[in-house]
């Protein structure tokens, strides 16, 4: 029986453990993770398997898109306690350290594939809003073994572009992944401290400049934005998981599938000022992989007024070539 099953069987009137009561267990896990890290560094790497990720984000061209309900949601967004989320994240952190991520050799690329299901909305002169047919978006980022070299970005909409544009597919090349004038990754991975989860969280917290509904929301979004848009190496990924566990309001929902049907645990946070909207990453706690993302919008939060959920799926593989460019790189305004 796993820890989450045990937690669900606790009596409702049992008080949720606070940070002080959880601290000894965290310290034991921290010690075990460091030992696992040293052991994995000294032994031959495991047979590599494709790593599955998730990323959500509307491009400038698809800014009018919103989520649609798609197959694969095995659990509604009714999260469990913060202590359950902490257990899942600590477990995922420990597994991530021992997992062998795909690595691109000289002349090769990491192909970071994102598949998302979006819907567009169209307004009419009588101020009514209708939802257009579902439209799958594919985004492939080709990251060279030398990150200072030229990257490639391929994207398409399988049924044409959502929004007011007309193109169906394009490929952009840019040094260091600056397809739109700024780095593709939202953070400099080399600058993130990974001595402990608390140290990692402090790094992100120091970036707060207002603008979010709360400081905790800002920390959560900065960390999950990185996890869902870039193949973060295992040592950094482990500390990001630990940092998420320390953010107040972070909870978990198990039995959630990504867009491709792979099931994991959704880690999210309910922001009181967001009126029921919830953003989650889906992880496999047994491997420490990020396998998807889910966003939930309550009725009335989107244009057509109905309750909606969006899912994505992502994978990382090693390839020998990248597609040729068809479109010049742009500035930060797209």
- pLDDT of residue 4 exceeding 70, the answer is no
Q: Are 163 and 61 in contact (CB under 8 A)?
A: yes
The dihedral over CA atoms of 285, 286, 292, 294, expressed in degrees to the nearest 10, equals -40
- pLDDT of residue 308 exceeding 80, the answer is no
pLDDT at 55: 31
pLDDT at 320: 97
pLDDT at 300: 65
- The proportion of the chain whose per-residue pLDDT surpasses 70, expressed as a percent, equals 64
**Cα–Cα distance measured from residue 47 to residue 183, given in angstroms and rounded to the nearest whole number:** 31
- The residues that bridge with 152 in the sheet, in sequence order, are 142, 173
Q: Where are the beta strands (DSSP E) in 54-149?
A: 65-67, 109-123, 129-131, 135-144
Domain ranges of the chain: 48-286+305-319
pLDDT in tens, 33-55: 444 444 433 333 322 223 222 23
3-class secondary structure, 63: coil
- pLDDT of residue 96 exceeding 90, the answer is no
pLDDT in tens, 264-299: 989 998 777 777 778 899 988 878 888 888 888 776
pLDDT at 79: 53
pLDDT in tens, 208-235: 998 788 899 999 999 999 999 999 998 9
Of 57-61, 137-141, 176-180, minimum mean pLDDT range: 57-61
More confident residue, 22 or 62: 22
pLDDT band at 304 (very low <50, low <70, confident <90, very high): low
pLDDT band at 166 (very low <50, low <70, confident <90, very high): low
Q: Are 57 and 67 in contact (CB under 8 A)?
A: no
Phi, psi of 217 (to 5 degrees): -60, -40
């Amino acid at each position: 029986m796993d820890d989450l099953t045990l937690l669900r069987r606790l009596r409702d009137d049992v008080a949720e453990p606070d940070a002080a009561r959880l601290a000894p267990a965290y310290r034991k896990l921290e010690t075990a993770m460091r030992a696992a890290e040293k052991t994995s560094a000294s032994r031959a790497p495991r047979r590599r398997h494709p790593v599955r990720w998730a990323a959500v984000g509307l491009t400038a061209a698809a800014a009018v898109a919103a989520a649609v309900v798609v197959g694969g949601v095995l659990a509604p967004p009714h999260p469990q306690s913060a202590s359950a989320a902490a257990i899942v994240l600590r477990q995922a952190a420990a597994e991530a350290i021992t997992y062998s991520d795909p690595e691109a050799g000289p002349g090769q690329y990491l192909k970071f594939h994102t598949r998302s299901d979006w819907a567009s909305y169209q307004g009419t002169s009588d101020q009514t809003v209708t939802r257009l047919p579902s439209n799958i978006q594919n985004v492939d980022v080709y990251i060279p073994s030398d990150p200072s070299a030229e990257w490639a970005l391929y994207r398409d909409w399988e049924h044409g572009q959502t929004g007011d544009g007309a193109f169906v597919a394009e490929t952009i090349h840019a040094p260091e992944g600056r397809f739109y004038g700024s780095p593709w990754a939202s953070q400099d991975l080399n600058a993130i401290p990974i001595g402990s989860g608390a140290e990692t969280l402090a790094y992100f917290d120091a970036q707060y400049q207002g603008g979010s509904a709360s400081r905790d929301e800002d920390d959560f979004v900065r960390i999950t934005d990185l996890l869902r848009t870039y193949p973060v190496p295992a040592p950094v990924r482990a500390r990001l998981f630990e940092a998420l566990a320390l953010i107040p309001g972070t909870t978990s929902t198990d039995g959630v599938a990504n867009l491709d049907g792979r099931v994991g645990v959704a880690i999210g946070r309910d922001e009181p000022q967001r009126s029921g909207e919830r953003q989650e990453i889906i992880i496999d706690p047994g491997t420490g992989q990020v396998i998807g993302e889910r966003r939930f919008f309550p009725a009335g939060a989107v244009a057509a007024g109905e309750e909606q959920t969006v899912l994505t799926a992502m994978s990382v593989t090693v390839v020998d070539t990248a597609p040729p460019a068809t479109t010049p790189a742009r500035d930060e305004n797209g």
